[in-house]
Amino acid sequence: MTGALKDIRVLDLSRVLAGPVCTQILGDLGADIIKIEKPGEGDDTRYWGPPFLKDKDGNDTSESAYYLSANRNKKSVAIDIKTEEGQEIIHKLLEKSDVLIQNFKKGGLEKYGLGYEQIKEKHPHIVYCSITGFGQTGPLSTEPGYDYLAQAMGGLMAITGEPDGEPMKAGVALSDFITGLYATIGILSALHARKENSKGQLVDLALLDCTLSSLTNLAQYYLTSGSAAPRMGNAHSTIVPYHTFKASDGFIVLAIGNDGQFKKFCDFSGHPEWAEDEKFSTNKARVLNRGDLIPLIKEKIIGETSAHWIDGLRKVDVPCGPVNTIDKVFEMEQIHAREMQIKMDHSASPEPLKLVGNPLKLSDTPTEYKNAPPVLGQHTEEVLKDLLGQSDEEVLELKKSGVIGA
């Protein structure tokens, strides 16, 4: 790898999504990611399907779409960390690493000698990233954490869904994903700070904290007003019109962010009088009178095709776009121009594996795609021999004793 993080090695003890999202980003940026997995089982998400990757005979492999989405540019090493020998290997790898990331429950790794204070004592240079549901402090710190719980407890579900409907989770594991992004930021910050004193530190991430931070303006809505923001469905609590509308052949989104754009929309729509009406002329007025304005816009938009509105409004610089299904997203020329769909060769697949590309576009140290998501234990021997200098005999003995995957 020749990316921006080519001199960084990460020991990845995380599973499922938040941690793997973080380490995939670091791997795309050039870091050497060693993914530690339990022999014979591996990351839970390997089995979260269907769908699964198909082999040359069209049969399901043990590589689920879920797992494939967050595990490229990693080496899979199958080690049983419950054994003393496995723990010794982890410590040897830490001597040659910069970062350890894990998402065990609070206290879960201490019994294996791999808790933060234990690692800090033996390997003070290590940046230690812990991802849990509720963090290392507070009354809930020992509770298990899951994305669904974080979305519910962190307020995200309460603001998602139709106003008179049930609270609704996001369509993806958004709390996990956001936590993965914050973990990446925290690790890079700690690595930068380490340049001054050669010391690592604890990066403590909680799904609940990261979910709350994602509420941004709606969390501040409450802190400023003392009232919880209402659930708005596809509308916006403080911007109008910022809404989904049905055209004659499908749905579109209007994202009008200022009064000038609203005037251009009204002119294009053939209703310049809307922009002159004191009930609608400013965003503040439109928010207060959305119940009068939105039905007028709905009645107008449904009379024309999506293309009429999207093409016409783009020409006058009014934000407007289609509500795409995922298949339509991957058909977009823009997506291909930005290399947001990539292909990688995979040992279990006769065809190149299609994956979502990394959105980071760096001019001098671009992201790289070197290793497809590994099969369980694929790089165990390679890492033990090449990085730790262990002999064929030593590796064979570790296999026989069950310390590493066969």
Q: Please identify every residue annotated as catalytic.
A: 176
- Say how far apart CA 239 and CA 216 lie, in whole Å: 15
* Burial of 373 (C-beta count, 10 Å sphere; 0-12/13-18/19+): buried
User: In this structure, what token pair is assigned to residue 75?
Assistant: 């080496």
- Neighbour order of strands in the sheet with 250-255: 242-247, 250-255, 320-322
Q: Report the distance separating Cα 37 and Cα 18, nearest Å.
A: 16
Residue 120 contacts residue 126 (beta carbons within 8 Å): yes
**From CA 203, how far away is CA 52, in angstroms rounded?**
34
Quote the CA–CA distance of 43 and 41 in Å, as a whole number: 7
Distance CA 115, CA 271 (A): 65
Instruction: For residue 34, give both structure tokens.
Output: 């060693």
**H/E stretch holding 78:** strand 75-78
In angstroms, what CA-CA distances link 405 with 38, 42, 97, 232? 8, 10, 21, 51
For residues 306 and 312, the answer to whether their CB atoms sit within 8 Å is no
Dig out the tokens for 36 from the structure: 């530690």
The two structure tokens encoding residue 295: 């039905």
